[in-house]
Structures are given as structure tokens and as C-alpha cells.
Amino acid sequence: MDAARPIVVDETGATKEPDRVTPKATDDVGRVTPMMEQYIEIKAANPDCLLFYRMGDFYELFFDDAEIASRALGIVLTKRGKHLGRDIPMCGVPIERSDEYLHRLIAVGHRVAVCEQLEDPAEARKRGAKSVVRRDVVRLVTPGTLTEDTLLDARRNNYLLALARARASSDEDSFALAWIDISTGEFRVGECGRATLAAEIARIEPGEIIVSDAFYSDHEFAPYLRSLPAVTPLTRDVFDGATAERRLAFFFGVATTASFGAFSRIELTAAAAVVTYVERTQVGKRPPLSPPVRQAAGATLAIDQATRSNLELIRTLGGERRGSLLAAIDRTVTAAGSRLLAQRLAAPLTDPAEIRHRLDAVTAFVGDTAARSDLRDRLKAAPDLARALTRIVIGRGGPRDLAAIRDGIFTAAEIADRLSALAEVPRDLTMAMAALRRGDGTLAAELNSALADELPAFRRDGGFVRGGYAPPLDEARALRDESRRVIAALQVRYAETTGIRTLKIRHNNVLGYFVDVTAQHGEKLLGAPLNATFIHRQTLAGQVRFTTTELGELEAKIANAAERALALELEIFDRLAAAVATASVAIKQAADALATVDAAAALATLALERNYVRPEVDASLSFAIAGGRHPVVEQALANDGGPFVANDCDLSPLPAAYPHPHAGEETEGAGRIWLITGPNMAGKSTFLRQNALIAVLAQMGSYVPARAAHIGVVDRLFSRVGAADDLARGRSTFMVEMVETAAILNQAGERALVILDEIGRGTATFDGLSIAWATIEHLHERNRCRALFATHFHEMTALAAKLPRLHNATMRVKEWQGDVVFLHEVVPGAADRSYGIQVAKLAGLPPSVIDRAKLVLARLEAEDRISPARKLIDDLPLFSATRAPSPVTQADAGLTALVEAIAALHPDEMSPREALEALYALKARLVRAN
């Protein structure tokens, strides 16, 4: 029997935590109960999920699920009955706290299937004593499909990403990405190549990725896919290209997806995979997704994962938001605004016109402080419209979500009015204003008159409809409340007529209302004449319980009235929710517009507060920053009371008539490289990063921390630090450094901005110097990109003599009585020495060690008179002269033959023995070749 747990009501009407009643799994040893049968069937249909099986006020977990959950959640593991002679482990979580437990399970990588009771237990009982309440899974909870505020970070998007691959017969595979935030309805699609795939995924930072089984086990991609968090492989049909268009159109209830724009087949495949997965996890409920928006390749600044973490854009290397660029610049006052800002920061634009539109919106607010602060005050009160909307549409909303819609629509209209009062309304704000006005005022007014002032968390609690809104509801409520009063009066009357002062009328789910007296008074009611009125129901240890005809009648009346009142409220809720769903497109647009306004006003606030300037962004290759500052370090120093020293940086192409001895056709157009030398702690790394961050800020449409900035859009940004500690991934740090440097040298084009910080530090001096040297030459001659290169190899400054676009800069330091003072000032020229010993002294090395080191240095310097770098410059041919060696030279002929021999092997058609023999044969050839 799995009837609902009894509800115990005390005199005050408060519900007490009932004792947990759980069913016996077996009637007799070995026989499976109907309930267990049902459980096993549902579990079998959801093998990859933990099954939350609803029983009354609890979700119960059984068998392995129970063991996993009890360990993950730290809750007690109990046993209940036996299944096939074995104890059944069980644990449970109460309904009211299930969100919290879900959150923890999802966070450690589990998926949960939520199985509800689909009928009233009373209905099941009508079918016979042994019949089981109908249950089924109503939702799969996965990391990428969350909608509850309690499960989500308000200030971050939570994306579900589908990754589809088109196998190209010839050379490169191509990939499509489709991603949604189910909680806000955002839906995007794009295509990319192999080289940018990882960067795209790093930008989106999905909470969950879905791929096809085949792709997941592809030997080339498996290691990468397994290194990502929360990747869910799905059966082929989800990624079936042939049915993709139809599935997508069906989801949106349109005949064809043509009206959404032109998508490639592979994009349709990814988009269809997303909606199919949504339908599966939401079990038929359809969240209000916007139609997919195609993102053109190259529309955003490509920033790979290493650069993102290295620049600490969204979070620090330690994984925290605090200390990141996002935290330093976020002045938004709404969750949606904060999400938008994070999105923009993760994906700066590359189209100068679009960037200028965003900047115009910021400028409008910079120019009108009064309007801005007034707007922000109003925005502060704005609810999270998008997320409330989603919950309502998929049937997971509560009364407070309806209130959020009402408040959101009102705020939107107010904000629109304020915007129209701005001196100048640029394009983005004009568009926002139109969207804000599209909010449905009638709907908001209706919600306002329907909703009570104080709202319960759940629909099922009732009491959220305002008195006076619906006369039939008022009637039912009056009846219910009146009857309760009558019961109280009845208790008084019974106490008087029986003379039992302690007589009480109580309620529980089994007996309903009953008269309750202590055992000593029981006798009195059981005897004449009172037994004519009081009908015995139950005798407990200390209590005897009775009912009366009058009480029975009243009870029926109360139950009916309360039930009717709740039913009427739920009806009203559904009607209002349906009205909200109908208006969902306009509501979502208003929500987006609120976020846009918040982001622009926040960036204006930041600009004024921190004295940022509007950057000039265009299609040139300029990169001229005057008085640039590091946005994060500057704020950190400001808190400590220290000043930040501003520095210029100019990587713009040389003027046409630049009088450089080597200037020629080769140099024209391309940007410059700055080589920065200087001792440790002088501020090299800070300078490098601040310029990268200024580019990111400018292209996301923000003002920048500088006196003036002129930036020709950057299409790819690379930032690497030598010998970064990557022991966590188990790779040699030097190896990582080289892999990452290789990626840059292979990928950076003329529009790229490259930041290399002490490359070559992770190996022996001469190795390191040689690699750094060759890298600079490659950047200058081949990549021809704008770059900043910090190094402790002073020898490299000699390169400026041969590379016309290489500029030497150094960090100014002052020596003061044998100590070094860092001025954090970038000046032209080369550092002549590294001040390593002075820095070591600052760090507190014992004086005896410092003295000894000085002695050793003096000797070494005396012996090393001829500068090795000078010699290199004179002896080495210029890098360009060694350009493009032919891939196979004569000496490689033997190797080529070996490669051909391997290519001729067909491992799939070989027996293990043949394979081994082939291996021996190859090995033998190798020995001969050498």
C-alpha cells in the first residue's frame, strides 16, 4: 500500500512532519510486490539516471541508486523489504528540500529522473487494495536543462550544447554547434572548423554537451571529449541529418525552418539534436525557446581556452569570479544584465560598426548621469523575467513567477519612458525601447488584480488569488473558513455538554475529523446517554476517539469547500499561465531589452567611476593605447591605496615613410611587435595583459582604462605564459608551453593580437633563447601580427637591428643604494641587466648568499666579453631566407618508403599474428634505413 503519508494537524492547523510510511517490497519472501514491479520497470527505462520515485511527501531511491545518493548526499541509507531474497537499500529526500538535493547530485555529475504520482492514491484504491498508484517520469534533470532558480546561478547562463560533425571525404571535418539556455530561451547555431572547435566550446562554456555515440567514441576525439565536463553521448537518431529539419520545424510548430534563416545541413542536425534532447528531458513539455539564430563564422573574437584562463576573463586561474575581469567590470543591477555582460565579455565582436552601436548606448548614459541613476534604481527592482517565463510555460512555475511577469512588464514600460527622455537615443536603445513597449499592459493589469499581496511558493499551497477577484472562489473560501469556525464552536459545545473540559476535535488523514478524549473520559462517552451522540472510532493507549453525525456532515462540507477553493485557484492559475505563454515572445523581447539597458548603464557607471575612455574601433591594423591601465590590478591597488602607473603601447603599422634601414615592401601594412625586457617584478606581465584586456573590453563594446585608445579590430587573441604550472593536467610544463606556442605560430594571422610572456623559460638557457629567438622571427616574418613579447633574454633585443617592425621597450628601474626600485614605467630601449640579485635580496635571501652571488656574477661577466647575440645577428641568415623548406628532402627517401609501407597495411583485415609479423618487418626496415 502506498497511500499518501498521513497529515497530522494539531489544534493550530499546522502540519507536522509525519512518520515515514514505506511499503513492504515483498508480501512473502521471494514475491515481488506490484509496487516494486512498477519501480523496476520505470528504472529500466531510465538506466543512466538516478530515479527519484515519488511516495507521498518523499522521493525515494532504491537499490544502487540509494547507495550512490546516500554517499553523495550524506543521508542515511536504510533497508526496506527484500527483493529476490536480498535486502533492498533505500534512502529518501523530502519533497520540500528536493531542489537542494538535486542541485548537489547534478553538481557531482549525476542525472536524475523525477518520477511522480500521476493520480490520487484514493483513485488507485478504488481499483482494489493491491493496486499501485500510477507513476511515471515527468522530467529528466541534467546539468544542461535546469530551470529552477535554486539550481541555477542567477548571474550566469547555463548552456546545453549539441555538437555535430560532418565527415568530409577529402580533408577537414566541419562541425556545427547549437546551444540553448533553456532557462532563458536563447538558441544559437554556428559552424566551425577543426582548428577553432575547442575555442568555440571554451567560449560557450556549456553546462552539458550532447554528441552522438559514434562521435563520442571516435578515436581522434574521445580523449578531448572525455576531458570536458558533462558530455552526454546519445543514440544516432538524435543526430540524424535526414530527419533534422522536420524535427526542428515540428518543435516550433512551423511548416519549414526556412523562415528562421538559411542553415547548413550540419547546423540543422545540431539544432534538431538540441530540441529532441529538450523534448526527452522535459518529457513533452516545450520550453519557450526562441527560434535559432545563426552566428556567422568570425563574428566574434576568437579566444582559445588557454588565453581565456590566462587572461582571467570570467574567472581567475584559481577558478573564482572574484579577481576576474568580469568581476572588476560588472556594475549591472539585474541578474539578466549580469548574464548579458558575461556573454559579451566571453564573445567580443569583430564588426567595428556593431561595436560602435554598443558603445553609442554606453555613451548615451555616460552623458546623462541623472537619467542613468534613475534608470538603475528602477532596474534594481526588476525580476528575472526570462527565467520566470520559462518556468511558467513548462508548467513548473509558481505564483511568484506570475508576479515576476507582472512586475517585469510594469518595469519595462517605465524604463521605456525614461529612455525616451534621454537627450539622444542611439540605435541599440531605440530598439530596446520598442521591445520594452511591446510588453502586454492588459496582461500585467490582469495579473495585478488576480494576485494577492503575499504569495506562497507553490501553486498547491493555494491562497495566491486576491479576494474579490473571482466571486465563486470567494464563496468557497467563505464556506471553508466558516465551517472551520463552526468546528471550533462545536468543540466548545461538546466540552460543555459532556463536562469534559479537555475534549478536543482533531484531524488526521485516516480518520478525518474526530472527537478526542483521554482514556479516563472515554468510558463516559461510551455509556448512555452520551453514546447516542458519540460513535466510537478508535481506542489508543491513552486516547479514545469518536465521531458524531454532525461532525461528519461538517467535515464533508469543509473538505468540499477547501477542495473547491483550491481547484478554482488552480484553474485561475492555469488561465493566467496560458495568457503569459501566449505573450511569451513579447515578454522575452522585453526581458532581453531590460538586460541590454542594464548592461549599457552599468558600463557607463564603470566608465565614470574608474575614468575609462571611449575607444576608437575600426577596420585598420592600429593598436595605439595612450596611458593604458590594467583594469583588475588598478582596482586592487586602489583598494590598497597605491597608484597604478599608466603606460602607452603602440603596435600600429609603421607610417609609410618610416625611415628604417630595412623598411621595404615587406613591412608595409603589418603591425609591430614590442619586445619588452626588464627584471622580475618590474611589471612586464601586467603591461602585456592590460593591452590584451583593453582590446577585449573595446571589442565587447565597453569603454577602456586608458587616456585614449585606437584599435583596429582583432580577430584572434592569443596569450601564453612560459612555464605555466600545469601539473594538474599531468603534462610537462615546457611541453605545454611549446604546444601552445605552436598553436599560435600556426594560427595567428595579420589581424591577430599575440601576447607571449617569457616563452622559453621552461628549459635550459640556450634552448630557451633559441626558441624565443626563432619564435619572434616567425611572428615578424610569417604571422605578421601585432604582438607583445616579454622576455628575460636580453640578448634578443639585438634582433631589432634586423627586424624593422620590432620595437624594444623596457621597464624603468632605479637603483638606489644597491637596491632596485621598480617604477613600472615602459620606456623605449633595452634592459642591460636583469637585477636578479637585487630582486633576490628583496625577497629575503640571506645576505651571505647575496654577497656570494654578486661575486660569482662579477666573474662570469668578466669572462663573457663578446656578446653572443651580436654574433648571432652577424652569422645567422635572416629567418625569411630559410622560408618554406620542401617537406621531403633526398635524405628522407628512406623514411618516405617506410611511411608508404605503413600506409599499405590494413589492420582490420589482419590476424593478430600477421599484425605482429608486419610490425617486425617494419622494425627490420627501420634498422636497415639507419
Binding site for Mg ion (CB under 5 A): 685
Which of Mg ion, ligand ADP, none binds 397 (CB below 5-8 Å, type-dependent)? Answer: none
Residue of 212, 685, 691, 838 interacting with ligand ADP (CB under 6 A): 685
Number of H helices, E strands in the chain: 31, 29
**Residue 292: contacted member of Mg ion, ligand ADP, none (CB under 5 to 8 Å, by partner type):** none
Q: What is the DSSP string of 758-796?
A: STTTTS-HHHHHHHHHHHHHHIIIII--EEEEEES-GGG
Residue 338 vs 741, nearer CB to Mg ion: 741
Q: Name which of 161 and 682 has its Cβ closer to ligand ADP.
A: 682
Stretch that binds ligand ADP, among 197-205, 352-360, 676-684, 861-869 (CB under 6 A): 676-684
- Which residue, 288 or 678, is less far from Mg ion as judged by CB? 678
| Residue 824 interacting partner from ligand ADP, Mg ion, none (CB closer than 5 to 8 Å by kind) | ligand ADP
Dump the DSSP string for 649-677: EE-PPPPTT---TT-SGGGTTPPPEEEEE
- Count of residues interacting with ligand ADP (CB under 6 A): 13
**Closest CB to ligand ADP among 88 and 754?**
754
> In Å, how far from its chain's centre is CA 102?
17
Q: How many CA atoms lie within 13 A of 602 on its CB side?
A: 26
**Residue 839 beta carbon to Mg ion: minimum distance, rounded to whole angstroms:** 12
Which residues, numbered 817-846, are part of the site for ligand ADP (CB under 6 A)? 824
Q: Which residue is nearest to Mg ion (CB)?
A: 685
The runs of H, that is alpha helices, within 59-175 are 63-73, 98-107, 121-126
Q: Which of 483, 680, 763, 810 binds ligand ADP (CB under 6 A)?
A: 680
Nearer to Mg ion, 588 or 761 (CB): 761
When CB distances are held under 5 to 8 angstroms depending on the partner's kind, the choice from ligand ADP, Mg ion, none that residue 199 binds is: none
Rounded-to-integer distance, Cα 411 and Cα 422, Å: 17
Q: Would you give the binding string for ligand ADP spanning residues 603-642, x where CB under 6 A is met?
A: ------------------------------x---x-----
**Residue 481 grid coordinates:** 473558513
Is position 338 an interface residue for ligand ADP (rule: CB under 6 A)?
Answer: no
Among residues 793, 795, 829, 788, the alpha carbon closest in space to that of 809 is found at: 829
Do residues 622 and 711 lie in contact, with contact meaning Cβ atoms separated by under 8 Å? yes
Does 257 interact with ligand ADP (rule: CB under 6 A)?
no
Q: In 3D, which of 114, 434, 68 has the Cα closest to residue 281?
A: 114
312 vs 781 by CB, closer to ligand ADP: 312
Could you tell me which stretch among 368-376, 683-691, 873-881, 921-929 binds ligand ADP (CB under 6 A)? 683-691
Q: DSSP assignment of 178-246, as one string?
A: EEEETTTTEEEEEEEEHHHHHHHHHHH--SEEEEEHHHHT-TTTHHHHHHSSSEEEE-GGGG-HHHHHH
Q: Which does 686 bind (CB under 5 to 8 A by kind): Mg ion, ligand ADP, none?
A: ligand ADP
Compare residues 721 and 771 and give the one whose CB is closer to Mg ion: 721
Q: Which of 140, 182, 141, 147 is nearest to 161 (CA)?
A: 182
Of all residues in the shown chain, the one whose CB is closest to ligand ADP is 683
Cell of 440: 502586454
Nearest to residue 647, comparing CAs of 667, 657, 633, 664?
Answer: 633
- CA torsion angle for 342, 157, 412, 464 (degrees, to 10)? -150
DSSP at 258: G
Q: By C-beta, is 6 or 836 nearer to ligand ADP?
A: 836
Q: Which one of Mg ion, ligand ADP, none interacts with residue 682, CB within 5 to 8 A by kind?
A: ligand ADP
By a kind-dependent CB cut-off of 5 to 8 A, residue 644 interacts, out of Mg ion, ligand ADP, none, with: ligand ADP
Query: Closer to ligand ADP at the Cβ: 605 or 686?
Result: 686
Helix (H) or strand (E) holding 145: none
CB of 773 to ligand ADP, least distance (A): 20
645 is a site residue for ligand ADP (CB under 6 A): yes
CA atoms within 13 A on the CB side of 765: 6
Q: How far is the CB of 686 from ligand ADP (least distance, A)?
A: 3
Q: Rule CB under 6 A: say whether 228 interacts with ligand ADP.
A: no
* Measured CA distances, 116 to 21, 53, 58, 63, 138 (Å): 17, 7, 10, 18, 7
CB-CB neighbours of 527 under 10 Å: 10
CB of 58 to Mg ion, least distance (A): 56
The site for ligand ADP (CB under 6 A) is made up of: 633, 637, 644-645, 678, 680-686, 824
